[in-house]
């Protein structure tokens, strides 16, 4: 039975899972290719074999290779919002809207188990996605360490690397689920999720800027910790809220 509920969850959200997996794989491949190419270029230059090719201004060359990456990476910050919009909002919004909640809740599975299975299974997959993104971005940027580049030596990509993306992905997902539970309409829930998600990311960046100017390049990890605690608390609160709404909702 439990397996059945898990398999049903995976089947019902197959589209989101497949699309996200494909996009994340593409990110991993691009990062691996670009990262390893850049790393071997830097290693070659540093080894002093520049006689053959003609010695170049290494920091300038690296900065050129980094430019596009540096411009593209901030957009990855919006991935958790997309997770909320496409994974979270339809989870309940679509059930209510289409009336399939009546079908779902008259199977031999209690509502509590029904929603908790979805939150745990899909939340688990979302967390994996967040981990992959955090590791990939951290590895990618580590290639450029030692060069004075935006995002490499400062905190501007803090929400993209390490453990923080996990928090953002889960936060986005649960904002979407909770919006679907409360609004009962997919498109409305998507819009609210996008608004809340983007708003939260802007707030996070404003906080970063404020802290940077107060204590430049210190408090990095403390700030990371604070964000994780805040996002974690939000995830717990939204999960509890969603579960209670589902347990009491009219179909």
List contacts with other proteins (CB under 8 A): 1, 3-5, 7-8, 11-12, 98-100, 102-103, 105-111, 113, 247-248, 250-251
Cβ closer to other proteins: 7 or 39? 7
Residues 6+ apart with CB under 8 A from 106: none
Evaluate whether 185 touches 102 at the Cβ level (below 8 Å). no
Cβ closer to other proteins: 17 or 160? 17
Q: Residues 226, 230, 235, CA angle at the centre, nearest 5°? A: 145
Evaluate whether 80 touches 132 at the Cβ level (below 8 Å). no
Cβ closer to other proteins: 15 or 55? 15
CB of 13 to other proteins, least distance (A): 11
Cβ closer to other proteins: 105 or 147? 105
CB of 91 to other proteins, least distance (A): 13
Q: Find the DSSP H helices in 77-185.
A: 79-83, 89-98, 101-104, 111-142, 164-183
CB of 108 to other proteins, least distance (A): 4
Evaluate whether 115 touches 5 at the Cβ level (below 8 Å). no
Query: b/e for 27-57, b at 16 or more Cβ within 10 A?
Result: bbeebeebbeebeeebeebeeeeeeeeeeee
Distances 214 to 183, 208, 209, 230 between C-alpha atoms, Å: 40, 10, 9, 21
CB of 105 to other proteins, least distance (A): 6
CB of 186 to other proteins, least distance (A): 14
Cβ closer to other proteins: 10 or 50? 10
CB of 112 to other proteins, least distance (A): 8
């Amino acid at each position: 039975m439990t397996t059945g509920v898990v398999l049903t969850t995976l089947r019902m959200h197959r589209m989101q899972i497949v699309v996200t997996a494909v996009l994340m794989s593409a990110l991993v491949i691009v990062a691996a290719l670009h990262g390893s190419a850049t790393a071997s270029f830097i290693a070659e230059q540093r080894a002093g074999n520049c006689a053959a090719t003609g010695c170049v201004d290494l920091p300038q060359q690296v900065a050129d290779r980094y430019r596009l990456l540096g411009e593209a990476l901030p957009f990855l910050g919006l991935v958790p919002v997309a997770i909320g919009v496409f994974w979270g909002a339809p989870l309940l919004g679509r059930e209510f809207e289409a009336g399939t909640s009546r079908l779902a809740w008259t199977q031999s599975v209690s509502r509590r188990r029904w929603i908790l299975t979805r939150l745990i299974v899909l939340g688990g997959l979302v967390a994996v996605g967040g981990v992959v993104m955090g590791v990939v971005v951290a590895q990618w940027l580590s290639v450029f360490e030692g060069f004075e580049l935006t995002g490499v030596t400062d905190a501007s990509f803090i929400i993209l690397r390490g453990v923080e993306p996990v928090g953002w992905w889960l936060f986005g997902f649960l904002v979407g689920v909770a919006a679907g539970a409360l609004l009962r309409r997919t498109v409305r829930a998507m819009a609210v999720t996008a608004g809340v998600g983007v708003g939260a990311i802007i707030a996070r960046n404003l906080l970063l800027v404020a802290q940077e100017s107060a204590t430049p390049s210190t408090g990095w990890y403390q700030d990371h910790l604070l964000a994780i605690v805040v996002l974690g608390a939000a995830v717990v609160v939204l999960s509890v809220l969603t579960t209670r709404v589902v347990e009491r909702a009219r179909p």
